[in-house]
Amino acid sequence: MSTRRHVLLLALIAVLSSGCNFDSVPASTSSEPRDPTSTLDSRSGPGACVAQEAEGLVLKFLTSYNEGRGEGAPLSELYFAPPDRFQWFSEPPHRQGDLSGDLSSLDSYFAERFDSGDQLTLIDFRFNGYREIDDTGHFEMSLLRGEATRIHGKGAIDCGSSKIMAWATGSDV
Q: What SS3 class is residue 69? A: coil
Give a yes or no: residue 128 inside a domain. Answer: yes
Residue 48 confidence (pLDDT): 74
Q: Residue 109 carries which side chain, given as an amino acid letter? A: Y
Give a yes or no: residue 24 inside a domain. Answer: no
Domain that holds residue 119: 51-169
Rounded Cα–Cα distance for residues 28 and 149 (Å) = 35
Give a yes or no: residue 74 inside a domain. Answer: yes
Residue 17 confidence (pLDDT): 31
User: Based on the structure, what is the number of domains in the chain?
Assistant: 1
Q: Profile the chain (173 residues) by mean pLDDT over runs of 10 residues.
A: 38 31 30 39 65 95 93 91 97 90 95 94 96 95 92 96 95 53
Cβ atoms of 82 and 161 within 8 Å: the answer is yes
Question: Helical H runs in 80-170?
Answer: 106-115
Domain at 94, CATH number: 3.10.450.50
In degrees and rounded to multiples of 5, residue 95 shows phi and psi of: -145, 110
Decide the pairing of beta strands 163-169 and 88-90: parallel
Q: Which residues pair with 151 in a beta bridge?
A: 143
Per residue in 117-157, pLDDT tens?
999 999 999 999 999 999 999 999 999 999 889 999 999 99
Q: What is the value of pTM for the model shown?
A: 0.73
Residue 44 confidence (pLDDT): 56
Distance (Å) of CA 100 to CA 19, 44, 49, 109, 129? 47, 28, 23, 10, 24
127: nearest Cα among 57, 27, 36: 57
Q: What SS3 class is residue 65? A: helix
Give a yes or no: residue 70 inside a domain. Answer: yes
Residue 71 confidence (pLDDT): 79
